[in-house]
Amino acid sequence: MSDLDDALSDIAAIKAQVDRTASFRGFGPAVLLLTAGLAGLGGVMQPYFVAPGAGAVEAYLVFWGAIAMVAVTVIAVSSVVRARLAHGARSRSMMLRVLWLFAPALIAGATLGLAISVAVPETFWLLPGVWQVVLSLGIFAALPALPNSMGLVAAWYLLSGVSATLFGRADIPSPWLMMIPFMVGQTLAAFVFFLDSKRSDGE
């Protein structure tokens, strides 16, 4: 039995190594484009939901938080379905790996948003830049499980986040500071995964 146990252990180690080195193909280009559209819709609708004055901080957080939750939910549901088709029995371990790598950025983004709104609400104009930089760090952290070209998306969010921090000071952050960066970033991500799927189909 020891030989059999050794063989099974070797097979499990090989599968784990494959999971660690393979790119996750559960993100669909169409869904990523949909989230780009959500960002565009959010930019258009922000002036109707976030008005200057008392409650602006809370309204801003709720408005963009709701859009983020819809985007994350749509991506998550789609990813579960696509991962099963793309990775088969390995889909669960692949999804958990991506989640493990990326989850700290999601938690940090939400926590920073709440902390700023409660402790220093007068600086909530920083939120668009902070969220984009945190997202950039999350993508960089998850790169071992993603196509290499996603580094370009991470770099875009880092650049847009720093730019929003430098030039975005206002009573209420301009809708453009969320609309343009996320429309461009999500569209670029969709293009990366589209090319990756074509490359995988050709192998």
What DSSP string runs through 55-113? THHHHHHHHHHHHHHHHHHHHHHHHHHHHHHHHGGGHHHHHHHHHHHHHHHHHHHHHHH
Q: What is the mean pLDDT of residues 93-111?
A: 89
CA-CA distances (angstroms) from residue 192 to 84, 167, 203? 20, 29, 17
The conformation of residue 23, written as its DSSP 8-state character, comes to P
pLDDT digits (tens, 9 = 90+) for 4-43: 544 445 444 445 544 444 678 788 999 999 999 999 999 9
Burial 101-115 (b: 16+ CB within 10 A, else e): bbeebeebbbebbee
Stretch 102-114: mean pLDDT = 90
Q: What pLDDT does 3 receive? A: 53
CA distance between the termini of the chain: 38
* pLDDT given at position 14: 43
Is residue 126 within 8 Å of 65, Cβ to Cβ? no
pTM for the model: 0.86
So what's the pLDDT on residue 8?
A: 43
* pLDDT above 80 for 112: yes
pLDDT digits (tens, 9 = 90+) for 129-175: 999 999 999 999 999 999 999 999 999 999 999 999 988 777 788 99
Packing angle of the helix pair 150-167, 176-202 (nearest 10 deg)? 170
Mean pLDDT of 42-46: 96
